[in-house]
Amino acid sequence: MKKQTIISAAIAAAFGFSMIGSANANVTFGDGGAGLQGVLDGITVAPIAGDSSVDVTTDELANDSYWSITGAGGSVATIVIELAGFASGNSFGVFDMANPGNAVQLFAGANVAGDQAILSIKADGSVHVNLADTGVDFAGNQFGYWLNTPQQNTWYSDTALNIDGSDHLAAYQGTNTDTVALPGIAPGLWTNNEFVLAWEDLALGAGAGGDFNDFVVMVESVKPIPEPGILALMGLGLLGFMGGRRFTKA
């Protein structure tokens, strides 16, 4: 679960901000990570076919709450797998770090493994998906990811925004070691500017575990924002949850 450090809590309290953008400890796997490990092993074709160098129980990113697009200006997201019973109803997208109620959808329930979406945020804050302006503007190039389910639950990359107080995202960075083959995509090296985002789409109680293979997507040309950077933005007044858990999608 994502937890605030003592320093983060002190800074947040000093500025009067809520605890958003926390660092994370490893999620709790109800199946010991076997399901998600099977997904990563399944897409690995080299150097050892069927054996990913990434261990889902030890290699999870320490901070996956907020992200930014790197210099190329565009991020491609590719669905790796969807195993959930909610597969036909889940949707996935990004939300504005400065206002989580401001959100854009990248994938809908009709999308399947191998489908891709291109996300870009222009200098004026306008958010483009698949090269088209969504009509939604973000405060800048800082955003989080969300997964919405037919149960009307929205799970955020920032655990502080989740209604059950649980972490629903486990993220992993490529190591420039494994060649992977995503559905319908030619095999390629899983580089260190590519990340796998693995989601649990069911509500979790305190300490409860999930399989985190309900919706798995690979994103590239993005970089996680470290907690000190998040706190700096908070200090500038860029972060504030505008009440409730509802948001509008483009």
pLDDT tens-place string over residues 185-196: 999 999 999 999
Contacts of 192 (CB under 8 A, 6+ apart): 173, 174, 175, 176
What is the domain extent for residue 109?
Answer: 27-226
Residue 44, classed as helix, strand or coil, is strand
CA dihedral (34, 185, 193, 3) positive or negative:
negative
pLDDT at 244 over 70: no
Does 69 map to a domain?
Answer: yes
SS3 per residue for 125-169: CEEEECCEEEEEECCCCCEEEEEECCCCCEEECCHHHCCCCCCCE
Q: Give a yes or no: residue 243 inside a domain.
A: no
Structural domain includes residue 21 = no
What residues contact residue 5 under an 8 Å CB cut-off, 6+ apart? 23, 227
Average pLDDT over residues 27-42: 96
Q: Measured between alpha carbons, how far is 65 from 62 in angstroms, rounded to an integer?
A: 9
Quick check: 134 pLDDT over 90?
yes
Q: Does 177 reside within a domain?
A: yes
Q: Per the domain annotation, does 193 fall within a domain?
A: yes
* Length, in residues, of the chain: 250
Is residue 91 situated within a structural domain?
Answer: yes
Q: Are 77 and 217 in contact (CB under 8 A)?
A: yes
Give 75-118 pLDDT, tens digit per residue.
Answer: 999 999 887 677 788 999 999 999 999 999 999 988 999 999 99
pLDDT of residue 25: 56
- Going by pLDDT thresholds of 50, 70 and 90, the confidence category of residue 208 is confident
Answer yes or no: is 6 within a domain.
Answer: no
Rounded Cα distance, 10 and 14, in Å:
6
pLDDT higher than threshold 70 for residue 238: no
Name the domain count of the chain: 1
Q: Tell me the residue type at 118.
A: I
Residue 9 lies in a domain: no
3-state DSSP assignment of residue 8: helix
Average pLDDT of the segment spanning 122-136: 97
